Amino acid sequence: MQDNNARFPTIAKVLILRQFLWGAAFYGAFVLLTKFFLDDLNYSEADTIMMMGAFGAVGPVFSAVGGFLADKFIGAFRAVYIGYATYLAGFLLLGIGASQLNVPMSILAIALIGFARGLSATCPTVLFGNSYSETNREAFQQGLTVNYSINNLGSFSAKYLFPFLIAYLAYQGVFFVSAILMALNLLMFYKFRKELVSVGNDLDKTPLPLKTWVMFFAGSAAMLGLIFWIFSNLETGKYILYTLGFGAIGYFIYEITQATRAYQYKMVAVLITVCILIVFYFFYGQMFTSMNMYAINLMDDTLLGFIPIHPESNMAFNPLWCFVLGGPMIQLYAWLDRKGYSPTIPTKIAGAFMLSTIAFGLLGLSAGSIGENGKISADWILLVHFFQSGAELIVGALGAGFIFEMVPRYLAAFSIGLRAVAISLSGILAAVIATKIALPKDIVFTPEVVETVYTSYFYMLAQVAAFMAILTLGLSKVIQKLIARGEALEAEEKVDTTMRSNIG
């Protein structure tokens, strides 16, 4: 039996290993998709940016639906287990589609992967949170940060290595490697199924009626069909993503009206935070769209003067820095706590916006540093990712835990999915904006072209990030007052309940 009061309970360790395998499988395939669509499937630069934006958005926006299904119908453990089986099918089909250069099959494959991500994304956090006791929440927050860092270790390893493997295995072989990694996750979940069910929700602990299974699989088929249609019709599909995202936020607003007064205050604080996150993750989405295309077009193939790197592996810098900075970030928070200063989550997000300001300022500066070979040094991109990854680590490691603590347990999976909704809405918006700087494949990258297209765009993003840092600092005070009021009401409700119990 696991110790729920340990720093890392048994199931937490299992879930951290799961995170490494998932990060390597998913992001290893993800890093290859841009050039796969550009070169092998002959997509234009604008269409590729939109496809990557949609792929990054579909899983997160459907994660609110997946969280709702886990909360209300199938259970958190089942959602992850079924989702990972779907991942496996998607990676296998992607490998087959790549071997045949079959566009519809490749789109169906990434639709399966997007569906799997949506179904399973929020529930590992629920399982992770439930593996800790109610009196061990500080260790839970620290465990989330470690879990996030391990995810980035798996992501970095795959993002750096997978492009090199293409020379030996081709695209299809590398996609099959992702399938193998996901199969290992499934085997581990099968081995520890009893322990994982014990930290699931109530639905995981009871058999489901046949009617529920029929409705679930019918709904899943419809959802998968919708995702396939979105990928096949991106111009119209983006509006469906917007509708789903804002619909999920609307449902959360409805649940606020149904909650107790104490939770109403705290859930309004979550709602404001989610709106801030939508803007923050717009900058995060640039890493997969404009920043990635910029690096593929202009980054040279040597890092620090001696390390070989493929331009598409530039996204490996992000998880590398997230992994490296994870430990120091924990130590920094511990040091601040010892000094009697514990910044609120919104205040930390304001700091993240400041780091994004520096990152995009440096990116704009890098565009004026083209060498004689017509490329910019990979060291510029490494430095940019240092600041942007620091910003992501501040937000990514703590956002889910903050939401988990602020909402009723019956809404836990769905509410954590709101963070993913923020990623989705901002991701598709980032792609739409980034297509404005998409270029023809045969263009010659002169300094004038680079300055006109990229420099002004990145400096504009830096200015917006600086404005958001100031605005978020102001909103952090509002959010903190809402939380304090909610906690005060919660304490009053507990006292009233105790008094009525004693009288009875």
| 442 and 45 Cβ atoms separated by less than 8 Å | no
Q: Can you tell me the distance from the alpha carbon of 306 to that of 378, in angstroms, rounded to the nearest whole number?
A: 11
CATH topology of domain 10-499: Growth Hormone; Chain: A; (1.20.1250)
For β-strands 307-308 and 302-303, DSSP reports them as: antiparallel
The whole-number pLDDT of residue 214 equals 95
pTM (whole model) above 0.85: no
Q: Classify residue 220 as exposed, middle or buried by CB count within 10 Å of its CB (0-12, 13-18, 19+).
A: middle
Angle at 417 between CA 325 and CA 317, to 5 degrees: 25
Q: Classify residue 168 as exposed, middle or buried by CB count within 10 Å of its CB (0-12, 13-18, 19+).
A: exposed
Q: Which tokens in the block code for residue 232?
A: 């096949």
**Separation in Å, CA 129 to CA 124, 146, 204, 327:** 8, 13, 15, 20
Q: Which residues have a Cβ under 8 Å from the Cβ of 113 and sit 6 or more positions away?
A: 26, 29, 55, 59, 86, 87, 90, 91, 94
b or e along 247-273 (b: 16 or more beta carbons within 10 Å of the residue's beta carbon)?
Answer: ebbeebeebbeebeebbbbbbbbbbbb
Q: Which tokens in the block code for residue 178?
A: 């992702």
| 427 and 53 Cβ atoms separated by less than 8 Å | yes
Q: How far apart are the first and last CA of the chain?
A: 37
Q: Can you tell me the distance from the alpha carbon of 504 to that of 499, in angstroms, rounded to the nearest whole number?
A: 9
Q: 244, 282, 224, 260: which is closest to 87 by C-alpha?
A: 224
Q: Can you tell me the distance from the alpha carbon of 199 to that of 15, in angstroms, rounded to the nearest whole number?
A: 11
**Which residue do the tokens 């980035």 mark?**
152
The whole-number pLDDT of residue 1 equals 43
Q: Classify residue 340 as exposed, middle or buried by CB count within 10 Å of its CB (0-12, 13-18, 19+).
A: exposed
Q: Can you tell me the distance from the alpha carbon of 79 to that of 86, in angstroms, rounded to the nearest whole number?
A: 11
* Sequence spans of domains, the chain: 10-499
Q: Which residues pair with 457 in a beta bridge?
A: none
The whole-number pLDDT of residue 62 equals 78
Q: Can you tell me the distance from the alpha carbon of 405 to that of 418, in angstroms, rounded to the nearest whole number?
A: 14
Instruction: Report pLDDT digits (tens) over 184-206.
Output: 999 999 999 998 998 888 899 99
Angle at 213 between CA 207 and CA 214, to 5 degrees: 150
Q: Which residues have a Cβ under 8 Å from the Cβ of 502 and sit 6 or more positions away?
A: none
Instruction: Report pLDDT digits (tens) over 88-117.
Output: 999 999 999 999 999 999 999 999 999 999
Q: Can you tell me the distance from the alpha carbon of 45 to that of 107, in angstroms, rounded to the nearest whole number?
A: 17
Give the pLDDT of the chain (504 residues) as one tens digit per residue: 456 666 778 888 899 999 999 999 999 999 899 889 988 898 888 888 888 888 887 877 777 788 888 888 999 999 999 999 999 999 999 999 999 999 999 999 999 999 999 899 878 888 888 888 776 667 777 787 788 778 888 988 999 999 999 989 999 999 999 999 999 999 999 999 998 998 888 899 999 999 999 999 999 999 899 989 988 888 888 888 788 788 888 888 898 888 888 888 888 888 888 888 888 888 888 887 888 888 988 899 888 888 999 888 888 888 888 878 877 877 877 787 777 777 777 788 888 899 999 999 999 998 878 877 788 899 999 999 999 988 887 776 556 667 777 888 777 767 776 777 777 778 788 888 888 888 777 777 777 788 888 888 899 999 999 999 999 888 888 888 888 888 888 777 776 666 666 665
The whole-number pLDDT of residue 465 equals 93
